[in-house]
């Protein structure tokens, strides 16, 4: 039986850094994220804070060999779980861009659209973290 590598593969380390950065921002500036919580969900502030804590836990867990596998699974679920918020962000920015037609708003909208398909490769990285072993590329 092999044990997880002490150092995560570069893509897993990058995902951990992304989670740690985003999780910190969720806790320090939750008001930035509240508008993208789908309107059908109650208690937006609590959801934003909870997702920030989850991102911090997943990010830290991806860096620790003993918790990397379970954190990979949790990270994949978290990324799937926040997809509706990312879709809501695109919808909201799309409406604003259509209303104002300002170039900055249109570019922001296009950026949020471009971000949506990136969720799938991030999920694949998280799932690869579950089996990152010494001597493998992950």
Q: What is the pLDDT of residues 78-100, one digit of tens each?
A: 999 999 889 999 999 999 999 99
Domain annotation covers residue 4 = no
What residues make up the domain containing 118? 10-125
Structure tokens at 42: 């109650």
Domain count, the chain: 1
Provide the sign of the torsion angle of the four alpha carbons 74, 115, 136, 19, taken in this order. Answer: negative
> Nearest Cα to 34, choosing from 24, 18, 47?
47
Domain annotation covers residue 40 = yes
Domain annotation covers residue 91 = yes
Domain annotation covers residue 22 = yes
Q: What is the pLDDT of residues 16-75, one digit of tens each?
A: 999 999 999 999 999 999 988 888 889 999 999 999 999 999 999 999 999 999 999 999
Domain annotation covers residue 66 = yes
């Amino acid at each position: 039986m092999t044990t997880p590598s002490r150092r995560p593969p570069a893509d897993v380390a990058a995902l951990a850094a992304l989670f740690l950065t985003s999780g910190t921002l969720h806790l320090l500036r939750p008001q930035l994220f509240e508008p993208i919580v789908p309107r059908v969900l109650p208690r937006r502030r609590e959801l934003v804070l909870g997702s920030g804590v989850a991102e911090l836990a997943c990010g830290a867990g991806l860096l620790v060999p003993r918790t990397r596998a379970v954190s990979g699974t949790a990270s994949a679920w978290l990324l799937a779980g926040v997809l509706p918020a990312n879709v809501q962000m695109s919808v909201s920015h799309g409406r604003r861009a259509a209303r104002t037609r300002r170039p900055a708003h249109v570019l922001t909208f296009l950026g949020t659209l471009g971000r949506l398909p990136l969720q799938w490769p991030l999920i694949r990285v998280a799932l690869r973290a579950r089996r990152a072993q010494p001597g493998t590329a992950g």
